[in-house]
A = this chain, B = another copy of it.
Amino acid sequence: MAVQTAETATNPTVDLGPAAALSCRECGHRVPLGPVFACEECFGPLEIAYDFSDYDTEELRKRIEAGPANIWRYAPLLPVPADVATKPNINPGWTKLVQADNLARELGVTGGLYVKDDSGNPTHSFKDRVVAQAIEAARAFGFTTLSCSSTGNLAGAVGAAAARAGFRSCVFIPHDLEQGKVVMAAVYGGELVGIEGNYDDVNRFCSELIGDPAGEGWGFVNVNLRPYYAEGSKTLAYEICEQLGWKLPDQIVVPIASGSQLTKIDKGLKELIELGLVEDKPYKIFGAQAEGCSPVSTAYKAGHDVVRPQKPNTIAKSLAIGNPADGPYVLDIARRTGGAVEDVTDEQVVDAIKLLARTEGIFAETAGGVTVGVTKKLIENGVLDPSLTTVVLNTGDGLKTLDAVAGTGLTATIRPNLDSFREAGLA
């Protein structure tokens, strides 16, 4: 992993630990660390390039294992200063890797099945991981306001993290969101601005604001802070491997929204191999979408390298990105690792949420229904090998998408006496 110290020296005031520069994923052009996200040469996406050259494998492993029970145990591998754990942040991560023996039995998995349950994060979705990174980048770049456009999980994650870290927050949402979602985002006390328009209008407005003096000092977590933000998903890969006893899983099933999470999980696994923290062996990454928003799965099945945008229509709203920015990279990773991309219907999503709940006591968001449902389908189709160690991601919490399982209810209604109880056949 090469370093270009000349370039990083142009921004000596920024201490983001092992992050050395920003590097274009398309053309490799490098620029100093800063709040930029697109390559000035080719408009490709910028990502973090690290300097890990000083690390001794066993020292690093010990340092990680002695670290806190959150993502900051991996600070040496993230774009954050070494003393990050002492700064106010909501400290997500180190969520449970649940050994899902009951679910394995139902699905016929014999090689070990695990659910990485990110509903255990502070605001109950994996978004806390990425926002925690963005907070540290915002600190480094001197931003005072944290912002994003959102229709759900991200709004809560930004509101909570900004409150604790001492940032002003200003989150933009479509003005007609459901009351429950508004409350979840508003309770943290930041500015919550309704935009008269749909989610696309909200996004367009945010892009306009970034280019305007009015947006000065504003860090948009998933726009001008995106290269830093996105790295948070690497921690899912790190945790899974460490929780498996520093072993790579054979197969991972990851939900696809923008596709960023899947690409960063791949990046994280590759880093662990290169650093010698896990054995260098093959792994397969599978992408999961809902049929009602399946641009990547459609492209995968058609053998295409590019992704044709779709208009989303699915209950899995946290995955409903019709034009996923990282789609082509996901296709590449799924093909290169021997994985696949598959989709399931909304009905299968609901069935999978219930299946996971009744077998493992985990109440997943619709995104978790998508990954469990796709896992089931891939096994039935002979694509996913049930004799191999498999990890399925649940990235959110069922309490936030109660509507999806609103049909679930009482199994019986009785009068408060034993006769009525016996009549109902419950004894």
Contacts and interface: CB of A to CB of B under 8 A. Distances in A.
Contact of A361 (B164, B173, B197): B164
Nearest to A196: B415
Given A183-B408, A408-B183, A193 B424 contact: yes
Given A204-B416, A416-B205, A426-B191, A184 B214 contact: no
A421 interface: yes
Contact of A422 (B88, B164, B214, B400): B214
Interface string A112-149: 00000000101110000000000000000000000000
B414 A196 contact: yes
Interface in A312-330: none
A179 interface: yes
A361 B163 CA distance: 5
A105 to B, nearest CB: 10
Interface in A180-212: 180, 182-184, 186-197, 201-202, 204-205, 208-209, 212
Contacts of A416: 195-197, 201-202, 204-205
Contact of A187 (B205, B405, B413): B405
> What is the count of identical protomers in the complex?
2
Contacts of A161: 361
Contacts of A120: 120, 122
B187 A412 contact: no
Nearest to A89: B361
A231 B336 CA distance: 52
A409 interface: yes
A257 interface: no
B406 A183 contact: yes
A190 B363 CA distance: 13
Contacts of A190: 358, 411
A375 interface: no
20 contacts: A124-B397, A160-B361, A163-B359, A163-B360, A182-B408, A182-B409, A183-B402, A183-B409, A184-B402, A186-B405, A187-B358, A187-B398, A189-B354, A193-B412, A194-B413, A194-B414, A196-B415, A204-B416, A208-B417, A214-B422
